[in-house]
Amino acid sequence: MEWRPSGYKLSTTDLVHAIFDSKSDAGKLLVKASMGEIELFADAKSWNAVLWLIANTLKVDGSPVYTGAELGELKSSLPIVWRTD
């Protein structure tokens, strides 16, 4: 029998809170997921909202702070299973 941790699905709003507010409930879930205590799921389209937020708010002299490659690395480093259904 395979053991799996409890799983939780993050809404788009929860995903934003998880990434940008470590003291939020969603942020605490993200920490637990990074330690393997739980499993997190989110819709792939929710990542688009995070991309929009980062691209439109994190700028220096009008240019985005992060490259597309860096944002791809960020997404792949998150302990989240991205769902496309």
- The full DSSP string for 18-82 is HHH-TTSHHHHHHHHHHTTSEEEEEEHHHHHHHHHHHHHHSEETTEESS-HHHHHHHHHHSSEEE
Residue range 60-78: average pLDDT?
Answer: 93
pLDDT tens-digit map of 4-46:
789 999 999 999 999 999 999 999 999 999 999 999 999 999 9
pLDDT at 85 over 80: no
pLDDT at res. 53: 92
What count of Cα atoms within 13 Å lies in the side-chain half-sphere of residue 56? 6
The encoded tokens of residue 38 equal 């739980």
pLDDT at 69 over 60: yes
pLDDT at res. 71: 93
- Parse the chain into domains and list their residue ranges: 6-83
pLDDT at 1 over 60: no
Which H/E stretch holds residue 56?
helix 44-57
- The conformation of residue 84, written as its DSSP 8-state character, comes to -
